[in-house]
Amino acid sequence: MTELDLTGVPCPMNWVRTRLALEPLPAGERLEVVLDRGEPLESVPRSAREDGHEVELDGNRVTIVKR
Amino acid sequence: MTLSDPEIERYSRQLVLPEWSGEAQERLRSASAIVVGAGALGSPAALYLVAAGVGTVGVVDDGTVELSNLHRQPLHFTPDLDLPKVTTAAIKLRVLNPEVQVEEYQVRLEEANADAIVAGAGVVLDCTDNFDTRYLVNDTCCAQGVPFVSGAVLGFAGQVMTIVPGRSACYRCAFATPPPAGAVPSCREAGVLGATAGIVGSIQALEALKLLTGIGSPLLDRILQLDALSMEQTLVATERGADCPACARVPAAAQSV
């Protein structure tokens, strides 16, 4: 599992970083991102779902399963 | 005052348009425009207004230039990072056309200053990126009877609407309320290509030039919707709301257009 610490990284740059980290991963691979609470934690998981990925939340740790 | 030789040469390619005229050019020279927002829409809009010879162009923005702005905001260059957008915008615009009076408003348009900034403008261009300011531009222009052109971009979708208060549907007639707060765009919706915004900003400038010179048919009671991915364009008809809180009581006689 790849991990990405995005605390302190505002929207939409955190989503840009997340997308770039997802890009080389094979389908089904998991990416764990750590996000600030508030807008990042609301917006990044939503954006990931809108792109078709599976998303699991655990506090401010978000696991994205690449579609 | 007639056009000078350098003016005739500078504007020659628009002066030869059958729809244009020396009189139209002089009207433009004595006209003023306010561009609210010096970003992705305001950059191309202000560039084309200044290039075309609108006598006075005011630019309103309280922001500074960031690296992530440069791909879509052609008024700002890499050496401009961290400088106020109105400053870097004014430098470019004055170099582009020294005949034009460029005014800098380094403020965020707010209820406290909107009336004074809009007062006396021939046209206002709403090149903002948020609904609060968009409705403020609408309500201020409607109250003062100042025509304005509203533009917006989201992803590959663009939207333009021209409003002559008292005569055509205003932004509030078409969109009575902002989207609910929960409907904030997600990160993926914050994406945009500069060229898409450039199309919309250019259309806004063209609409403003049409309003100021009286040529053509502006986008009144019609919303232009653009899907830049397919390049499909749709005109959606709108009409004035009889009870619109912004424009229902604006007398059409107040209009110069």
Q: Which residue has the tokens 């430098």?
A: B91
Q: Residue A54 carries which DSSP code?
A: E
How many residues are present in chain A?
Answer: 67
Contacts of A13 in chain B (CB under 8 A): 68
Q: Which residue has the tokens 């959606």?
A: B236
A51: Cα within 13 Å, side-chain hemisphere: 22
- B186 vs A13, A16, A43: nearest CB: A43
**Whole-angstrom Cα distance, residue B201 to residue B37?**
11
Q: Where are the alpha helices (DSSP H) in B75-181?
A: 85-96, 111-118, 131-144, 171-174
Tens digits of per-residue pLDDT, B135-194? Answer: 999 999 999 999 999 999 999 999 999 999 999 999 999 999 888 765 666 677 789 999
Contacts of B9 (CB under 8 A, 6+ apart): none
Q: Give the per-residue pLDDT at B252.
A: 66
Q: Provide the shortest C-alpha distance from residue B186 to chain A (in Å).
A: 5
Residue in A closest to B67 by C-alpha: A13
Q: Phi/psi at B176 (nearest 5 deg)?
A: -60, -40
Hey, of A22, A23, A36, A46, which one would you mutate to test binding to chain B, going by the most B CBs within 10 A of its CB?
Answer: A46
Inter-chain touch A11–B188, beta carbons under 8 Å: no
ipTM > 0.90, yes or no? no
Q: Give the per-residue pLDDT at B189.
A: 74
Whole-model pTM over 0.90: yes
Question: In this complex, how many residue pairs, one in chain A and one in chain B, have their CB atoms less than 8 Å apart?
Answer: 28
* Residue B106 tokens, joined: 């380094």
**Whole-angstrom Cα distance, residue A53 to residue A42?**
15
**Whole-angstrom Cα distance, residue A64 to residue A49?**
9
Residue B188 contacts A where some CB pair is shorter than 8 Å: yes
Tens digits of per-residue pLDDT, B188-229? Answer: 778 999 999 999 999 999 999 999 999 999 999 999 999 999
Contacts of A51 in chain B (CB under 8 A): 188
